[in-house]
Amino acid sequence: MQFGPGYGETPLEPDEADALTPQARAVFGDQPSKLEIYEAEQAINDEVSISLLTDVVAGELDIAALISDVFLRELHRGLYGDLWTWAEAGAEGCECPAGACEEVEAHVLAS
């Protein structure tokens, strides 16, 4: 007995495929597999992580910058904006609770 689809062939759900950016559709077509999108997300994550770690080591990003609302919104866009149409709206539609950044910074500095 054989099961289908095979590993890596599972297509995105229609609502997920509808949320792909035009750029992602140009690269992956109208019916990309979940594996293709996962691998693209991981590659972007790796690039963003290396860039941010480089900036932290160089002293260009400190704790206050890393936990700021602006940074978190830009991080969200950087991780998902090339693939997903909801990345921009998701980044704009959220707010850090009042005092959350200060609380996190105090905790990190106390450690």
pLDDT tens for residues 29-75? 988 999 999 999 999 999 999 999 999 999 999 988 888 888 888 99
Q: What is the DSSP letter of 84?
A: B
pLDDT range class, residue 93, cuts 50, 70, 90:
low
Contact 90/76 with Cβ under 8 angstroms? yes
Q: Which pLDDT value is given to residue 1?
A: 54
Q: Which residue has the tokens 């690039």?
A: 47
Q: Which residue has the tokens 């998701």?
A: 90
Q: Which pLDDT value is given to residue 60?
A: 94
CA distance 107 to 109: 6
Q: Which pLDDT value is given to residue 42?
A: 97
Contact 31/12 with Cβ under 8 angstroms? yes
Domain ranges of the chain: 14-110
CA distance 33 to 22: 16
